[in-house]
Amino acid sequence: MRYLTTPIYYVNDAPHIGTAYTTVTADALARWHRLLGEGTFFLTGTDEHGLKIQQTAEANGVTPKEWADSTVVRFQESWAQLNISNDDFIRTTEPRHYAAVTELLQRCHDNGDIYLGHYEGLYSVPDEAYVTPAELPELERQGREVIEMREENYFFKLSRYEQPLLDWYESHDDFVLPKIRRNEALGFIRQGLRDFSISRTSIDWGIPLPWDENHVTYVWFDALTNYLTAAGFPDDPTRFEDLWPGTHIIGKDILRFHCVYWPAMLMSAGIEPPTNVFVHGFLTVGGEKMSKTALNQIAPADLIADFGVDGYRYHFLRDQPFGPDGDFSYEGMVARYNADLANNLGNLLSRVTTVVGSKCSGVGPAPDPDSALADVVSASLEAATAAWGRVAPSVALEETWKMIGATNAHLEQYEPWKMEPGADLDRIMGDALEVLRIVAVLAYPAIPASSAAIWERIGLEGSPVDARLPEAANWGGYPGGLPVAKGDPLFPRIKA
Ligand code: MSP
C-alpha cells in the first residue's frame, strides 16, 4: 500500500495558501497513484497539543479540547472545499494517538535512549515560554517578568544516531527529495547531533510520559507519531505492516524534524524509517513572508471565490514548482488561469462540442487509429508519468497541456468549423474527442471535478476516477457514437 501524508497542521492557525499548497500537492499525488491502480492511503490532520493551544483556550474560557474541537473544523471544511481526498483525518487528541505515543515513548525508553536531564534558559512567565537572550531587551521594555529557569526534562539520545543516520542516507539515496533538501539534512547531521528535549513539566496539555506522569510529551515527539497512529500502530499490526513505511510530504521549515529526528526515533523503537520525505519550498506573497502578524495570509476560500476549486488547485500545482521557494501573485494566477484553463483547455472543449453539435448531429465520432496526435499523446504521457513519479506536478501538467496545444493547432490547421460533414470531418473531431478523453484522465489529479465534467460532456460513462493508467491513455479508447453536449464554459475567462 502506498501511504502518503501531509504534516499535521497547528489547529490554532487557519488554513492558508501555504498549508493548502502541501495538502493539494499531496492530494494530487494520491489521486495519481490511485489512477495507476496502486492501493493508496492518504492522511492529513491536526496538531492539537502544546502551550499555545492551552493558552488560547484559557483566554477564551474553554478547555483546550473544546478549543481544538471548535477550530479543527476550519481545516476540515477547507480541505473538503478543495476536494481533498484524504482517507483519514488524524487529530492528536484522539485516544488512538495517545496509545501510539505512549508505546513509541516506552520503546525508546526501554532501548535506553531516553534519560532525565535539565533544561536551562530564560523563561518569560506571562508568556509561559522559553525565550532567547536576543528577545530579552524587548520583553524587559514591555515590563514582562523573565526569570532564569531550570526545568527537569527528559531527553532523547539523538547523538547516538549520528552514524546510523549517515548510513541510512548512504544506503537510501532517494530518502529525501529533491536533492538540495537531502544535502541540507545531511549537512545538519554532519555538524554533529545534540540530544533533544522530549518532555515538559511546565505544561499539562499533552500526553503524559508512561513512566513519569509529571511530564508531558513535548510537541514534536507527539506530532511526528501521528503517522504511526493512523497506520494502526500499535494495536493493528496487520494494517501497520501493510501501510508502513509511509511517504511524507512537508515544507522545508520542518525538514530537521522529519529527516533527522524522526528516522532516529523510529530506529530507536525498532521501526523502519519512512520510504521518502518530499520537501517543498515556501510560498511568499508579493515577495513577503506570510505571517499572521503581517496580515498577509491568504485563505484558499478567497481565491476559490474567483477561480473555482479547480482553478485554485491547477494554479498551485502548475505554477509553483515543487522544491524551490515561489512567490504568489494574483496577477500571475489570473494569467495562468486564462492561458491554460480558459483558453487552451476551455477552447478545445468548446470548439469540439460546438462543431460536433452543429456538424455531427451531436454524436461524437471515433478517432482515427493512425492519427498523428497519437504520437503526441504517447510522448506527453511518458513525460507526465515520469514527472509525477518524481513529484514534479508542474512538469506533469505542462506535458499534459502539450496535448491540448497540439490538438488546438490541429483544429486550426484543418478548420473543421468550415468543413462539410463527412468522413474527413469525423476523423478530425474523433481525434480531438480522444485527446479530451485522455486529458480528462491525466489532468484528473489536478482538476478532478472539471475532468469529470469533460468526461460527461463527451458522453462517456462513469468518471475518470475509475480509469486505470497506462491503459486508459492508449490511443483509440473513445468509442464514438456517444452523445456530446455543449454546456457552459468550464472556465469562464477572468478579467485581470
Ligand atoms: N504542527 C507542525 C507539523 C507537525 S508534522 C508531524 C507544523 N504545523 S504548521 O501548521 O505550522 O504547518 C507547517 C507546514 O505547512 C509546512 O511544513 C508546510 O507544509 C506548510 N506551510 C506553511 N506555510 C507555508 C508557506 N508559506 N509556503 C508553503 N508551505 C507552507 O509545523
For residue 346, give the C-alpha cell. Answer: 476551455
Q: Which atom of ligand 1 is nearest to the CA of 289?
A: 26
Tell whether ligand 1 has an atom less than 6 A from the beta carbon of residue 253. yes
Cβ neighbourhood burial of 21 (10 Å; 0-12, 13-18, 19+): buried
Which pLDDT value is given to residue 483? 98
How far CA 111 is from CA of 108, 163, 216, 217, 253, in Å, comes to 5, 17, 20, 18, 29
Q: What is the mean pLDDT of residues 227-252?
A: 98
Q: Confirm or reject: Cβ of 26 under 6 Å from ligand 1.
A: no
* Widest pairwise Cα distance in the chain: 88
In 3D space, the residue among 475, 432, 426 whose CA is nearest the CA of residue 457 turns out to be: 432
Residue nearest atom 29 in ligand 1 by C-alpha distance: 18
Say yes or no to pLDDT of 293 above 80.
Answer: no
Buried b / exposed e along 161-170 (16+ C-beta atoms within 10 A) = bbeebeebbe
Q: Where are the alpha helices (DSSP H) in 172-279?
A: 179-190, 219-224, 226-229, 237-243, 255-256, 262-268
Q: Say if residue 387 is exposed, middle or buried (CB neighbours under 10 Å; 0-12, 13-18, 19+).
A: buried
- Strand 88-91, strand 2-10: pairing: unpaired
pLDDT > 70 fraction of the chain, expressed in percent and rounded? 99
Mean pLDDT of the chain: 95
What global pTM score does this model have? Answer: 0.95
List Cβ neighbours of 28 (8 Å cut-off, separation of 6 or more). 313, 317, 393, 445, 446
Rounded mean pLDDT of 92-103?
97
Q: Look up residue 478 and give its three cell numbers.
A: 473513445
Q: Which of 464, 455, 463, 462 is nearest to 484 (CA)?
A: 455
pLDDT band, very low/low/confident/very high, at 129 (cuts 50, 70, 90): low
Pairing mode, if any, of strands 176-177 and 129-131? Answer: unpaired
**How many whole angstroms separate alpha carbon 274 and alpha carbon 259?**
9
Residues in the chain: 496
Q: Which residue lies with its CA nearest to atom 8 of ligand 1?
A: 9
Q: Which of 151, 153, 124, 162 is nearest to 140 (CA)?
A: 124
Residue located nearest, by CA, to atom 10 of ligand 1: 9
The string of pLDDT tens digits covering residues 447-459 is: 999 999 999 999 9
Q: What is the pLDDT of residues 318-361, one digit of tens each?
A: 999 999 999 999 999 999 999 999 999 999 999 999 999 999 99
Counting from 1 in the atom list of ligand 1, the atom nearest the Cα of 223 is 6
Q: Does ligand 1 come within 6 angstroms of the Cβ of 13?
A: yes
* Beta strand 482-483 pairing with 326-328: unpaired
pLDDT band at 218 (very low <50, low <70, confident <90, very high): confident
Average pLDDT over residues 271-280: 98
pLDDT of residue 160: 98
CB 426 within 8 A of CB 477: no
Residue closest via CA to ligand 1's atom 6 equals 224
Instruction: Let me know: does 364 contact 348? Beta carbons within 8 Å.
Output: no
Q: Which of 5, 17, 21, 219 to mutate to test the pocket of ligand 1 (most atoms within 8 A of CB)?
A: 21
Compare 46 and 149 and report the one with higher pLDDT: 46
- Domain limits of the chain? 330-483
Kindly state if the Cβ of 250 falls inside 6 Å of ligand 1: yes
- Nearest-angstrom CA–CA distance, 86 and 74: 15
Nearest-angstrom CA–CA distance, 355 and 164: 64
Lowest mean pLDDT across 146-155, 298-307, 384-393, 433-442? 146-155
Q: How much is the pLDDT for 126?
A: 66
For ligand 1, atom 15, the nearest C-alpha belongs to 19
- Calculate how far, in angstroms, residue 67's C-alpha sits from the geometric centre of ligand 1: 20
Task: Out of 3.40.50.1000, 1.10.730.10, 1.20.1290.10, 3.40.50.300, select the CATH number for domain 330-483.
Answer: 1.10.730.10
Atom 20 of ligand 1, residue of closest alpha carbon: 19
Q: Which amino acid is at 336?
A: R
**How far apart are the CA of 7 and the centre of ligand 1, in A?**
7
Indicate whether residue 7 lines ligand 1 (CB < 6 A): yes
Q: State pLDDT tens for residues 45-71.
A: 999 998 888 889 999 999 999 999 999
The ligand 1 atom at the shortest distance from the C-alpha of residue 7 is: 5
Verify whether ligand 1 is closer than 6 Å to residue 9 (CB atom): yes
